[in-house]
Chains A and B, each alone.
Chain A
Amino acid sequence: MKDMTDNGETDAGPLIPRQRHMHPVPYDPEYKTSVPRSPKWPLLSMESTPSEETGPRFGHSLLGPLDNNLILNFSKDGSPAIGERILMHGRVLDENARPVPHTLVEIWQANAGGRYRHVKDNYLAPLDPNFGGCGRTITDAEGRYQFLTIRPGAYPWPNRANDWRPMHIHISVFGHSFGQRLITQMYFEGDPLIDRCPIAATIKERSQLDRLVAPLDMARARPLDFLAYKFDIVLRGRRQTMFENRLEGM
């Protein structure tokens, strides 16, 4: 299998194994739903195969002009969504610090009041008629992406007696290999609810949780328009094969 990136480099070699201790624990009694939904048996570990090293690709033709603008992409008459206007931007890289170009990034989030536009969300906060809450984009040749959106509100959820989710945006990234597939959440610098959140706390390595907290980025904020938050994402890399006279893979 040959899989050329736009850098002219070849994605080859097996995927670098996941460092599972750098991820959340699957079973955490403080996050109650994880208790019946976490496997008890060890995972079966094996070197990746073409089934994990290949993956779906999506072209820019998929995108509509407002797909990465959540302020306007659900508006019926051009009225903007209600809330603090923010730019969410960053890069998608792999563990070898190479950009991951032309990969699909999807986000979803609650509105400014903390309510999702979902048939199952019946929180007291009102829906915003001009806010849907989903967006998508494809990274450029340097792995960069950006979304214009509003800052999502914190919201309560049934877990312990009084749990609240910190402000967050859910993010889904494909990469170039099905084995790179990742869904995570971006939190906002300075939110006091992060340290009270049992979902954030499923990540036991503090430095790893910190990587989900986007800093305020005044260099990208536009005066009289929006604030900016920077969120870089690192996907699994593939083992480099300098000393082998052939490319690994097929």
Chain B
Amino acid sequence: MVQSLDTMIETPSQTAGPYVHIGCIPSFAGLPGVYPEDLGLSPIAPGAKGQVITITGAVIDGTGWALRDAMMESWQPDAAGRFAGQDGADPAVSGFCRFAADKDSGLFTLTTVKPGPVPHRSGGVQAPHISLWIVARGINIGLSTRIYFEDEDNSADPLLSRIEQRPRVDTLIAKKTAEGQYRFDIRLQGDNETVFLDI
């Protein structure tokens, strides 16, 4: 026998289930009226500095079918790379957004400001990116990934550099479809499976 450690173990996850919207986006569930408005409707307020962009996409399962019941959260810094609460952060950028796949099409839309680069502990700089967390029925522990941008310099990003199979890097890069418009699909499984993070 040995002494026991003081550290505790994280509570295990369970799937968010098909009715996650009741708790997280009640209006989407057809349940208005409990709260004045859903949490995290937008990561930006009027006057946010930087380029306003729209990212559209779908969460696609191993059969090629877009999930209709996925819920996502995004977290990002402002256009200068500062997170809410940090010194000098843009007060019009909360950086947090909650959004759901559309019930009919499976498409999601995120409108935000393009984030700035963020320093890395090692001294390098992380290319502009948005952190994304995905939960749904059938997903037993929330999936983490990142949205990078094809019109940014991603060459020295520490996370992208760690992806050994270089073709997979592409799964984390949003494609520019028009000025300020990007497409970002998340593939849970199968060809071009998205790189998910343990971070």
Q: Are B10 and A182 in contact (CB under 8 A)?
A: yes
Q: Does B41 contact A (CB under 8 A)?
A: no
Residues on B with beta carbons closer than 8 Å to the beta carbon of A46: 158-159, 162, 197-199
CA distance A249 to B122 in the complex (A): 10
Compute how far the CA of A212 lies from the CA of B14 in the bound complex, rounded to whole angstroms: 9
In which size bucket is the chain B interface? Answer: 35 or more
Q: Give Cα A232–Cα B96 distance, bound, in whole angstroms.
A: 26
Task: Indicate if the CB atoms of A199 and B193 lie closer than 8 Å.
Answer: no
Report the Cα distance A183→B83, complex, angstroms. Answer: 23
Asked whether B143 is an interface residue with its Cβ less than 8 Å from the other chain, the reply is yes
Q: Is B83 within 8 A of A184, CB to CB?
A: no
Assess whether A141 is interfacial by the CB under 8 Å rule: no
Does A86 lie at the interface of the complex (its beta carbon under 8 Å from any beta carbon of B)?
no
* Contact assessment for B193 and A26 in the assembled complex, using a CB-CB cutoff below 8 Å: no
Closest chain-A Cβ to B141's Cβ sits at a distance in Å of: 5
- Determine the distance from Cα of A1 to Cα of B8 in the docked complex, in whole angstroms: 25
Task: Give the shortest distance, in Å, between B159 (CB) and chain A (any CB).
Answer: 6
Given contacts A132-B33, A202-B140, A49 and B14 within 8 Å (CB-CB): no
Interface contact A250-B188, CB-CB below 8 Å = no
Interface assignment of A96: CB less than 8 Å from any CB of chain B:
yes
Closest residue of chain B to A42 (Cβ to Cβ) is B198
CB contacts (< 8 Å) of B20 on chain A: these are: 108, 170, 183
Collect the chain B residues with CB atoms within 8 Å of residue A117's CB: 22, 29-31
- B14/A24 in contact, CB under 8 A: yes
Indicate if the CB atoms of A170 and B23 lie closer than 8 Å: yes
Q: In the complex the two chains form, what is the Cα distance from A94 to B8 in whole Å?
A: 7
B138 and A36 contact, CB distance less than 8 A: yes
CB of A212 within 8 A of CB of B67, answer no
Is B137 an interface residue when CB atoms closer than 8 A count as contact? yes
CB neighbours (8 Å) of B135 from chain A are 183
Cβ < 8 Å to A, chain B residues 56-114: 61-63, 65, 67, 69, 73, 75-77, 83-86, 94-96, 103
Residues of A within 8 A of B168 (CB): 41
Q: Does B45 contact A (CB under 8 A)?
A: no
Count, chain A residues at interface, CB 8 A = 92
- Which residues of chain B from 113 to 128 have a CB within 8 Å of any chain A CB? 118-121, 126
Which of B21, B63, B131, B138 has most A Cβ within 10 Å?
B138
Indicate if the CB atoms of A43 and B189 lie closer than 8 Å. no
Binary CB contact string for chain A from 42 to 66 against chain B (1 if under 8 A, 0 otherwise): 0111111111101111100010100
A179 and B73 CA atoms in complex are apart in Å by 12
Residue in contact with B189 in the complex, picked from A28, A37, A96, CB distance below 8 Å = A37
Say yes or no: B14 contacts A184, CB within 8 Å: yes
A160 within 8 A of B: no
Give CA–CA (A136, B76) in the complex, Å.
Answer: 24
Asked if A41 and B193 make an inter-chain contact with CB atoms under 8 angstroms apart, the answer reads yes
A74-B34, A106-B24, A170-B17 are known contacts; what are 19 more A-B pairs with Cβ within 8 Å?
A: A24-B13, A34-B15, A36-B61, A43-B196, A44-B198, A45-B197, A46-B162, A49-B159, A50-B118, A52-B131, A56-B94, A67-B35, A108-B22, A118-B31, A178-B75, A183-B15, A203-B14, A232-B11, A250-B121
Residues of A within 8 A of B (CB): 1, 3, 14-20, 22-26, 28, 31, 33-41, 43-52, 54-58, 62, 64, 67, 73-74, 93-97, 104, 106-108, 116-121, 132-136, 170, 172, 178-179, 181-185, 199-200, 202-203, 205, 208-209, 211-212, 232-237, 248-250
